Amino acid sequence: MPPLAGVAQTGALPAGPSLTGPVPKHVAIIMDGNGRWAASRGLPRAAGHKAGAEAVTRCLRAARANGVDYLTLYAFSSENWRREPSEVADLTGLLRFYLRHKVAELHREKVKIRFVGEVGRFGQDLCAEMARAEALTEGNSGLTLLLALSYGGRSDIVHAARALAQAVQCGDLAPDAITEDMLARYLLTAGVPDPDVIVRTSGEHRLSNFLLWQSAYAELVFLETLWPDFDEDCFTRVLNIYGRRERRFGARPA
């Protein structure tokens, strides 16, 4: 497996998979590197996406085992619609397969499923599958899994701003009464705490329009590991990187 790399200035990674620090309440992951994983093996991109879906299963297992309350996975960005139609078809086909064959298993494990993004773009059939998954798992008390599908951070903020503007226009809200907390209640992630840590695999060092408002004080961890190679050990090492960070939220150190 390729080596993990936290941000260079964090120093050497803790050795081994043992958890050594506090566990974040909410972990968000930009799953990147499926195409490169496949290309390095002479395989079609579809094989990389399939291997990436298997990594999701390992990630979920690790999140539950370590007591994480919320896990958000950037599964399909609003920009991904620009990819080749064949690749979009492969991705939506995988989504359909997992909705039909994996949701019951997640329900048995008490996972609550929630979708965030412009999911209507996937069509009526897939939207109905997503609605069924959310309804089935709504009452579950275990890990909350948020799948960001056709999601864009900027459009999320625009959506919230439009809702607030409508409330002002209708006379239900005074402009000077708008606060950060109020805007957050109109985001697609309303009711979910902001992520404590955002992870990106494959060596890229950017957020790519993911949870832009919500990531204001998130710790950022960038890994060289390609997403299909992500496993339980990687997850624990991410938690250990997080546990070594000092979170001050803008305050001066003591």
Q: Which domains does the chain have, with CATH numbers?
A: 22-152+194-213+228-241 (3.40.1180.10)
Q: Residue 105 is inside which H or E element, if any? A: helix 103-108
Q: Are 9 and 205 in contact (CB under 8 A)?
A: no
- pLDDT for 18: 73
209 is known as an active-site residue:
no
Tell me the pLDDT tens digit for each residue of 35-91: 999 999 999 999 999 999 999 999 999 999 999 999 999 999 999 999 999 989 988
First-to-last C-alpha distance (Å) of the chain: 39
Q: Which residues are annotated as a binding site?
A: 32-37, 45, 49, 77-79, 81, 83, 200, 206-208, 219
DSSP 179: -
- The answer on pLDDT for 7 being more than 50 is no
Residue range 88-114: average pLDDT?
A: 93
Closest listed residue to residue 239, CA positions, set 252, 221, 214: 221
Neighbour tally for 46: CB within 10 Å: 18
Q: Which residues are annotated as a binding site for substrate?
A: 33-37, 45, 49, 77-79, 81, 83, 200, 206-208
Largest interatomic CA distance in the chain: 60
Q: Which residue has the tokens 């339980």?
A: 232
- pLDDT for 254: 56
32 is known as an active-site residue:
yes
- pLDDT for 5: 39
**Alpha-carbon distance values, 249 to 68, 72, 196, 238 (Å):** 21, 21, 11, 20
- The answer on pLDDT for 8 being more than 60 is no
Over pLDDT 90: what percentage of the chain?
Answer: 83
- Catalytic residue, from 66, 80, 140, 209: name it: 80
- Catalytic residue, from 32, 90, 156, 196: name it: 32
- pLDDT band at residue 127 under the 50/70/90 scheme: very high
Specify the 3-state DSSP secondary structure of 35.
helix
Neighbour tally for 60: CB within 10 Å: 20
- pLDDT band at residue 251 under the 50/70/90 scheme: low
- The answer on pLDDT for 180 being more than 70 is yes
Tell me the pLDDT tens digit for each residue of 184-197: 999 999 999 999 99
Over pLDDT 70: what percentage of the chain?
Answer: 91
Specify the 3-state DSSP secondary structure of 53.
helix
- pLDDT for 136: 97
- pLDDT for 210: 97
- pLDDT for 11: 34
Neighbour tally for 88: CB within 10 Å: 15
Q: Are 117 and 148 in contact (CB under 8 A)?
A: yes
Q: Which residues are annotated as a binding site for Mg(2+)?
A: 32, 219
- pLDDT band at residue 250 under the 50/70/90 scheme: low
- pLDDT for 247: 73
